[in-house]
């Protein structure tokens, strides 16, 4: 509980009204307005300020100074009034005002179907509504006989562990690294950070008001995950530096037989009633298939395997790949290297966000920590600005006359804004503008944040090479036209083996069918992204079709999945059933629904190659849903979609 709702805390807050009024100057207008209307219920304030809120980010607000000063005074007055009268702060705003409040906060229309999500996400009563509670509390013996193995201790695995622990369910997390954090531990390349504002990109059940940046860098995010893990005592249940090599379903015993390999290459065997894979999609680095790759004699660094011991300062560096990782690493290293040659196969679209480089001031942290409900409204504003507000821009309008450029009128408008930004940043350099402008519609690949990419391209010591790489030699990258780029160090910003999901683990379900038999090399499919026919008691977090590429937070999706999986586990524990397995019919119906929705979205566009599509052109990684749709799909585990098998004989250990 961080809001000072006790009478004592409220009195302390208003004891120095001058200080409070001064501190409010660092608050953003839109969430501050929400605090006032939440506490006072006066809709007139919405009418007065709404015209100045033009969009969902703080920099979209244009309220005049005198109106802001009046707003600050009104907030101080209402808090002082609550303190003086001893009245409790209202837990929720007036329900009748909520629609107008949400529209005003975001400067856009928030549809009605978001209201349950808003209530849940804002968690105004601090009751953690996503936690799954027992309906029929199991006996200690029943619980002791149950065991879950979670594979991976990244953002999702840690969330799963925390919720299992809260429910008292025995579990073990197997983690191949020596620390938690997953992708946020492994990726430590210069400039590594997040594209989604952290006051939203974080656990809803442990929101931090102390982020130093709106868009944190890797160390801060890693520290946050580790803090959550330590705070809940999770490390005691994590087998670090151990990798799951296989998980085989034993139908007779109704148990998973899991094998792991430790750092000394020793194998260990375990059994589990349930296995949850939390290895995600961005787990195994992808190296490019370029002839001569292994002949390069200098250091070669993949962004996901950065070696800080290798000093790149003053050296000639070649970087292959210009996706989300390349966008971050190149501007970070360009100022220190002798020369940076960027090998770009395709250009990427990148949005500008003025908050991307901003630090959160101490005053703002104070407001987040102390002003009742401010942090909650602020978080929800970011939820909207970072996610579903963009969803319509990714839909293909079948009648749009310029499909090679854009997808729809809205998408075209966005394209023009992005092009304007590129042209401005590149100072009218026509050659660079041509090279840096993608030849496909915005959102065809992941939308990036401009990490000063374009102004980096103008540096004297940076070359953008857009020709085709022919091969690599001991000391150079050689282009198809014969140009040799001599380099001392190579950086592979070439992404992950995302489509070969769960690689290299051997996952074998019922009747000896493996996950590769079921999915082939690159066609992963799961019911609501989580369960697969033939693989009883097996759940995936961040599995097939759960990547949010229109925006959003992977943490939000994993929390939806953890809730669903916890309900599935509750079903097993409470009923004593040995196994549950998703039925073919709902699985198939869901695949058709997903494919149908995806076929109308940006990633399916014929001009586009991306890591979301498999060789057959099916989008296997991304979710087509708005966050609210996925929340609704996963809110309630439906036992009717699963086959249940009677109690098992053997106990897990
Ligand atoms: P990526 O988006 O898959 O980008 C890989 C890059 O390597 C692309 O530019 C690709 O070109 C290029 N490439 C691959 N093989 C090549 C070859 N043989 N020759 C030349 N170029 C080649 O990988 P990533 O940048 O690591 O990002 C992966 C995902 O991680 C992101 O989409 C995102 O979900 C996540 N991520 C997020 C952040 C963040 O939050 N800021 C940061 C890093 C990563 P083409 O485009 O032509 O295929």
What is the distance in A from the centroid of ligand 1 to the CA of 217? 18
Domains of the chain: 7-110+357-388 (no CATH), 140-284+498-583+621-645 (3.50.50.60), 293-349+406-439+442-492 (3.50.50.60)
pLDDT attached to residue 268 = 98
Mean pLDDT of 387-398: 93
Q: Which of 303, 345, 497, 551 to mutate to test the pocket of ligand 1 (most atoms within 8 A of CB)?
A: 345
Contact yes or no for 338/316 (Cβ under 8 A)? yes
The answer to whether residues 284 and 497 touch, using CB atoms and an 8 Å cutoff, is yes
Angle in degrees, 0-180, between the axes of helices 17-24 and 65-85, rounded to the nearest 10: 140
Q: Is the dihedral of CA 393, 398, 401, 405 positive or negative?
A: positive
Q: What is the pLDDT of residues 521-570, one digit of tens each?
A: 999 999 999 999 999 999 999 999 999 999 989 999 999 999 999 999 99
Nearest CA to ligand 1 atom 3: 495
The burial of 164, by beta-carbon neighbours within 10 Å (0-12 exposed, 13-18 middle, 19 or more buried), is given as buried
Per-residue pLDDT averaged across 287-309, rounded? 97
Give the model's pLDDT for residue 179.
98
Residue 1 has a pLDDT of 34
Rounded to two decimals, what is the model's pTM?
0.96
Residue 349 Cα to ligand 1 midpoint, Å, equals 12
Task: List, in order, residues 6 or more apart from 48 with CB less than 8 Å away.
Answer: 67
Query: Residue 631: which of 565, 564, 531 has the closest Cα?
Result: 564
- Distance separating alpha carbons of residues 340 and 60, to the nearest angstrom: 36
pLDDT tens digits, 162-205: 999 999 999 999 999 999 999 999 999 999 999 999 999 999 99
Residue 400 has pLDDT above 50, yes or no: yes
Q: What is the pLDDT of residues 23-64, one digit of tens each?
A: 999 999 999 999 999 999 999 999 999 999 999 999 999 999
Look at 7 and 348; give whichever has higher pLDDT: 348
Residue 526 sits at φ, ψ, to 5 deg, of -150, 155
> Could you read off the pLDDT of 476-494 as tens digits, one per residue?
999 999 999 999 999 999 9
Nearest to 340 by CA among 488, 505, 170: 488
In 3D, which of 634, 616, 615, 617 has the Cα closest to residue 546?
634
Bond from prior residue into 504 cis (ω within 30 degrees of 0): yes
pLDDT at 209: 96
Closest atom of ligand 1 to CA, residue 282: 30
3-state secondary structure of 452: coil
Average pLDDT, the chain: 95
- Tell the residue nearest (CA) to atom 22 of ligand 1: 321
pLDDT computed for residue 652 by the predictor: 55
Does residue 4 register a pLDDT over 50? no
Best residue for ligand 1 mutational test, from 322, 325, 542, 608 (most atoms within 8 Å of Cβ): 325
pLDDT band at 126 (very low <50, low <70, confident <90, very high): confident
CA of 411 relative to ligand 1 center, distance in Å: 22
Q: Is 195 in the pocket of ligand 1 (CB under 6 A)?
A: yes
| Ligand 1 centre distance from Cα of residue 322 (Å) | 6
211-226 per-position pLDDT tens digit: 999 999 999 999 999 9
Which ligand 1 atom lies nearest to the CA of residue 290? 18
Using a 10 angstrom Cβ sphere, with 0-12 exposed, 13-18 middle and 19 or more buried, the burial of residue 231 is exposed
pLDDT of residue 648: 56
SS3 at position 253: coil
Q: How far is CA 508 from CA 62, 245, 249, 512, 627, in A?
A: 58, 11, 6, 6, 32
> Which H or E element spans position 360?
none
Give the CA angle between residues 50, 51, 54 to the nearest 5°. 90
* Residues facing residue 262 across a β-bridge: 242
d(CA 137, CA 150) in angstroms, rounded, equals 23
Spatial distance between the Cα atoms of 603 and 218, rounded to a whole number of angstroms: 27
Instruction: Identify which of 182, 151, 148 has the alpha carbon closest to the alpha carbon of residue 167.
Output: 148
State how beta strands 300-302 and 171-174 pair. Answer: unpaired
**Ligand 1 atom with least separation from CA of 303:** 26
Task: Give yes or no for a contact between 518 and 506, defined as CB atoms under 8 angstroms apart.
Answer: no
**Residue 465 Cβ < 6 Å to ligand 1:** no
Indicate the burial class of 65 (C-beta count within 10 angstroms; 0-12, 13-18, 19 or more).
exposed
Q: What is the pLDDT of residues 79-90, one digit of tens each?
A: 999 999 999 999
Ligand 1 midpoint to CA 17 (Å): 51
Q: Phi then psi for 284, rounded to 5 degrees?
A: -115, 120
Between the two ends of the chain, the Cα-to-Cα distance in Å is 37
Q: What's the gap in Å between 287 CA and the centre of ligand 1? A: 11
Task: Among 288, 289, 324, name the best residue to mutate to test ligand 1's pocket (greatest count of ligand atoms within 8 A of Cβ).
Answer: 324
Substitution candidate for ligand 1 out of 302, 323, 345, 453 with most atoms within 8 A of CB: 323
Question: 124 pLDDT band (50/70/90 cuts)?
Answer: confident
The answer to whether the beta carbons of residues 560 and 626 sit under 8 Å apart is: no
**Residue of the nearest CA to atom 20 in ligand 1?**
345
DSSP string, 386-403: TTGGGGGGGB--TT-S-T
């Amino acid at each position: 509980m961080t809001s000072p709702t006790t009478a004592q805390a409220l009195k302390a807050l208003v004891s120095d009204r001058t200080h409070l009024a001064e501190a409010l100057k660092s608050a953003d207008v839109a969430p501050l307005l929400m605090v006032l209307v939440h506490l006072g219920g006066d809709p007139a304030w919405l009418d007065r300020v709404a015209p100045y809120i033009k969009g969902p980010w703080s920099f979209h607000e244009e309220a005049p100074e005198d109106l802001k000063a009046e707003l600050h005074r009104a907030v101080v007055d209402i808090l002082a009034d609550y303190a003086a009268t001893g009245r409790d702060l209202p837990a929720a705003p007036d329900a009748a005002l909520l629609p107008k409040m949400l529209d005003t906060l975001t400067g856009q229309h928030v549809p009605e179907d978001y209201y349950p999500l808003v209530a849940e996400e804002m968690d105004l009563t601090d009751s953690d509504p996503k936690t799954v509670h027992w309906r029929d509390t199991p006996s200690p013996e029943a619980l002791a006989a149950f065991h879950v193995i979670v594979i991976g201790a990244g953002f999702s695995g840690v969330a799963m562990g925390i919720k299992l622990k809260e429910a008292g369910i025995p579990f073990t997390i197997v983690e191949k690294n020596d620390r938690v954090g997953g992708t946020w531990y492994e990726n430590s390349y210069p400039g590594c950070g997040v594209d989604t504002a952290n006051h939203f990109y974080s656990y809803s059940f442990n929101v931090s008001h102390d982020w130093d940046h709106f868009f944190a860098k890797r160390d801060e995010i890693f520290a946050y995950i580790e803090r959550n893990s330590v705070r809940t005592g999770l490390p005691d249940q994590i087998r670090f530096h151990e990798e799951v090599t296989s998980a085989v379903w034993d139908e007779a015993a109704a148990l998973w037989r899991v094998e792991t390999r430790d750092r000394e290459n020793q194998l260990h065997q375990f059994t589990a009633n349930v296995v949850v894979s939390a290895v995600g999609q961005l787990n195994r680095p992808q190296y490019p298939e370029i002839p001569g790759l292994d002949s390069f004699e200098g250091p070669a660094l993949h962004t996901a395997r950065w070696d800080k011991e290798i000093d790149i300062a003053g050296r000639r560096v070649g970087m292959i790949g210009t996706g989300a990782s390349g966008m971050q690493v190149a501007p970070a290293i360009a100022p220190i290297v002798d020369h940076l040659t960027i090998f770009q196969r395709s250009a990427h679209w990148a949005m500008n966000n003025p908050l991307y480089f901003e630090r959160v001031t101490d005053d703002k942290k104070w407001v987040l920590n102390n002003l009742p409900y401010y942090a909650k409204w602020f978080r929800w504003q970011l939820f909207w600005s970072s996610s579903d507000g963009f969803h319509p821009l990714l839909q293909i309008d079948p009648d749009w006359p310029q499909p090679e450029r854009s997808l729809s009128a809205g998408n075209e408008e966005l394209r023009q804004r992005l092009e304007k930004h590129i042209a401005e940043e590149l100072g009218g350099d026509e050659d660079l503008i041509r090279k840096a402008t993608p030849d496909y519609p915005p959102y065809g690949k992941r939308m990036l944040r401009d990490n000063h990419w374009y102004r980096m391209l103008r540096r004297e010591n940076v070359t953008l090479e857009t020709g085709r790489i022919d091969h690599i030699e001991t000391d150079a990258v050689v282009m198809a036209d014969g140009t040799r780029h001599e380099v001392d160090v190579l950086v592979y910003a070439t992404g992950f083996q995302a489509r070969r999901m769960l690689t290299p683990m051997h996952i074998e379900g019922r009747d000896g069918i493996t996950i590769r038999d079921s999915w082939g090399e690159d066609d992963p499919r799961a019911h609501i992204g989580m369960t697969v026919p033939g693989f009883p008691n097996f759940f995936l977090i961040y599995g097939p079709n759960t990547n949010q590429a229109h925006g959003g937070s992977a943490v939000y999706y994993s929390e939806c999945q953890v809730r669903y999986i916890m309900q599935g586990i509750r079903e097993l524990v409470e009923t004593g059933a040995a196994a549950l397995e998703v039925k073919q019919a709902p699985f198939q119906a869901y695949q058709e629904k997903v494919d149908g929705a995806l076929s109308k979205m940006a990633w399916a566009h014929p001009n586009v190659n991306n890591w979301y599509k498999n060789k057959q052109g099916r989008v296997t990684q991304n979710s087509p849903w708005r966050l609210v749709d996925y929340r609704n799909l996963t809110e309630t585990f439906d036992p009717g979609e699963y086959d249940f098998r009677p109690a098992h004989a053997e106990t897990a250990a």
